[in-house]
A = this chain, B = another copy of it.
Amino acid sequence: MGEDAGRDFECQKIMDGKVNSGNGSEKVVPPCCLKARASAPELEAKCHSTVVSGWFSESQSTSDKAGKKVYFNNPMWPGEAHSLKVESILFKEKSDYQEVLVFESSTCGKVLVLDGILQLTEKDECAYQEMIAHLPLCSIPSPKTVLVVGGGDGGVLREISRHSSVEHIDICEIDKMVIDVSKKFFPELAIGFEDPRVNLHVGDAIEFLRHVPKGKYDAIIVDSSDPVGPAQELVEKPFFETIAQALRPGGVLCNMAESMWLHTHLIEDMISVCRETFKGSVHYAWTSVPTYPSGVIGFLLCSTEGPHVDFFNPINPIEKLDGAYHHKRELRFYNSEMHRAAFVLPSFLKREVRLLRDSAAPEQGTHIS
């Protein structure tokens, strides 16, 4: 690849809002990046004045019978919006940390929204929850102790509980309202809390981790909301250092890691911090989640120094775990092939994110027989 390949890359420049300063080292937080700017989510959520927001401006008229259609406008980045028709608003309250909204959509089932950002829909939560849980847990043999940071809806717990080797699951969620709301409106996710191996800690994850014995966990899954509001600290270096300390040698972290189509600068930053912190391996994976911005979401998979973890090839394949496929409800998205495919990256991502160039799954080697 030529040195100036990136210069011709209009596609990516448009995405990242970069100004080409000619020295090849520009690093501007792109204007498109709502998440990076992390400001006034309420304001952003109704930034499209032509879209009636079912939540903010028109919650009183939420029924079709009233003859008025109401939409929830999920802000993706300025200039683009994804709208869902609201059938009825089921819950809307301010917790100590954020605004919590649940509505019934006309085509995606029930929807959970925190501070104006869509968190999950019943239609496609399977893709996110299954991938964020099984990518790490299927990459190590017989995981026993697992920590979930965030994940108050319970969906990740539901997925972890498919692993019969797991003996102890801690979950640290800061906002009790999210848990309560999930138990009321999302029973298929909150079922995760019913597993007797689950220990719920309501509180701040940073504080929680301070009291965790070194090397306690085999796996930690960070299912946080975007780095806006309560989750802001969860993308900073001290947090990752605390995580690394809480993992056993050769333990694994799976962290939500933004969209490759929108936030290559954030991805590069996260990888950079994690490479400094985790001395095992650090890799990027992605999957399709239609209702998330740009229709994809990424994951950062990291392992601490110790026994080598080959994230690309699940050593603990879900298909071989007794009863895992149908535990509570059948797997809808994840399988071992999807696991491997999640690490395969498009050319632009390897070009844009320097740190992914040498570490990505090699060009040759995958052979589907």
A residues in contact (CB < 8 Å) with B = 1-2, 5, 8-12, 14-15, 32, 48-52, 69-71, 77-85, 105-109, 122-127, 188, 261, 286, 288-290, 294-296, 312-313, 317, 319, 325-326, 329-338, 340-341, 343-348, 351, 361-369
The distance from the CB of A68 to the nearest CB of chain B, in whole angstroms, is 9
A69/B48 contact (C-beta < 8 A), A330-B8, A340-B366 known: yes
Instruction: Check B80 against A83 for contact (C-beta < 8 Å).
Output: yes
Contacts of A326 in B (CB 8 A): 2, 5
A190 to B68, CA, bound (A): 44
The distance from the CB of A81 to the nearest CB of chain B, in whole angstroms, is 5
A174 to B10, CA, bound (A): 29
The distance from the CB of A6 to the nearest CB of chain B, in whole angstroms, is 9
How many copies of the chain does the oligomer comprise? 2
Instruction: Check A337 against B361 for contact (C-beta < 8 Å).
Output: yes
Instruction: Check A123 against B295 for contact (C-beta < 8 Å).
Output: no
A9 to B331, CA, bound (A): 10
Instruction: Check B124 against A261 for contact (C-beta < 8 Å).
Output: yes
The distance from the CB of A165 to the nearest CB of chain B, in whole angstroms, is 20
Contacts of A325 in B (CB 8 A): 1
Contacts of A50 in B (CB 8 A): 50-52, 69-71
CB closest chain-B residue, reference A82: B82
A300 to B83, CA, bound (A): 29
A333 to B343, CA, bound (A): 14
A367/B367 contact (C-beta < 8 A), A14-B122, A51-B51, A85-B80 known: yes
Instruction: Check A365 against B361 for contact (C-beta < 8 Å).
Output: no
A202 to B292, CA, bound (A): 39
The distance from the CB of A89 to the nearest CB of chain B, in whole angstroms, is 15
The distance from the CB of A103 to the nearest CB of chain B, in whole angstroms, is 12
